[in-house]
Amino acid sequence: MSAGETSLRIGDVARLVGTTPRTIRYYEEIGLLPEAPARHSGQHRVYTEEEVERLREVMRLKHLLGVTLEELKTLLTAEEARAAVRAELRREDVEPTRRRELLAEALGHIERQLDLVEHRSAELTKLHRELTETRGRVRAKIRALDRAGREPAASAIIVD
């Protein structure tokens, strides 16, 4: 057919995103990935580059947020909806009113994701700060010890 349609099968996709066919089928099974991507001629699932990207995003979110696939599904309602929005918006004949609705919806989804990410980010940052402080204290003690090694003095180092 045309040039831009790299027809991918489940094994290819698995290799591309670093997972297994079973996992991909499982994700489809639980509704994380859209129902059986158009089996073009026969039975085998056929994926587009776009769907590969989707899967990449899924696995990334899973890894980063460490949420269950069920929570992820909820979260991805956002992505799904946005995809729908994109599809509908691509048709230029939608009325501005409807168009605004769709965009507002998309915005809401994005903001939900952002909230989650920001929350997680803040927690991580806090932990990071704490660790850095501790490291600073330990380093200070080491330096103090090194100094004491060169100058003979009675130094009472308080720990922690």
- Least CB distance to its own copies at residue 48 (A): 16
49 near DNA (CB under 7 A): no
Site for DNA in 14-33 (CB under 7 A): 20-23, 25-26, 30
120 near DNA (CB under 7 A): no
Distance (Å, whole) CA 106 – CA 79 = 8
Beta-carbon neighbour count of residue 105 at 10 Å? 15
Distance (Å, whole) CA 30 – CA 40 = 22
Distance (Å, whole) CA 127 – CA 141 = 21
Structure tokens at 107: 């915005």
41 vs 97, beta carbon nearer its own copies: 97
The entry of its own copies, DNA, none near residue 9 (CB within 5 to 8 angstroms by kind) is: DNA
Binding marks (x or -) toward DNA, 73..102, rule CB under 7 A?
------------------------------
Query: Using CB under 7 A as the criterion, which residues of the chain lie in contact with DNA when the complex forms?
Result: 7, 9-12, 20-23, 25-26, 30, 36, 39, 41-45, 62, 68-70
